[in-house]
Amino acid sequence: MIPILSQLFIRQTHGNEELLIENECLLFRSDDQNFEIEYRELETSALVYLTGNKESLTLLREVKGEHRSKGFFESSQSGYLTVEIPGSQLVFDTVLKEVVLSDKQVTFNYELYSSNELISSIKIDIKQQEVSK
């Protein structure tokens, strides 16, 4: 698989607050159904890996020495996100709401729940950058 430099847009909603993040990422596509994404968060320096297809998404996010998040999200079913902080561990329920795959874009939307209460809604858009000639 060849990495394609792409633009990453994250829209995260907590109650009435909305956070927008724009970043560059590497998008790997082996075919029309599967993808892998790798990027480093600018604010936290966290390294993030996402792999998925139209039915599921796996996430690994790590800030060296601080915390690690691992998650599995499945379409129309409950998944989980585990956040490991030195000395404690938090587990959230997740629901993968949407996955859209096209030639030049990958979009997915998931929600995090704690005790059946919506904690956060997250939408991620990845758009391949146009190559200028």
Q: What CATH number is attached to the domain comprising 71?
A: 2.40.128.20
What is the pLDDT at residue 22?
Answer: 86
* Residue 8 CA: distances (Å) to CA of 80, 126, 127: 23, 5, 7
For the chain, report the end-to-end CA distance as a whole number of angstroms. Answer: 23
Q: Which two tokens stand for residue 30?
A: 């082996």
What is the pLDDT at residue 71?
Answer: 94
Cβ-proximal residues to 132 (8 Å cutoff; 6+ apart), any chain: none
Domain contains 133: no
Domain contains 112: yes
Residue stretches of the chain with pLDDT short of 50:
132-133
Domain contains 27: yes
What is the pLDDT at residue 130?
Answer: 58
* Residue 98 CA: distances (Å) to CA of 1, 13, 55, 83, 123: 24, 16, 9, 23, 9
Look at strands 67-74 and 35-40 and give their pairing. unpaired
Domain housing 98: 3-128
State the Cα–Cα distance between residues 107 and 79, nearest whole angstrom: 18
What is the pLDDT at residue 133?
Answer: 45
Domain contains 101: yes
Domain contains 48: yes
Our count of domains for the chain comes to 1
Q: Residue holding tokens 């190559």?
A: 131
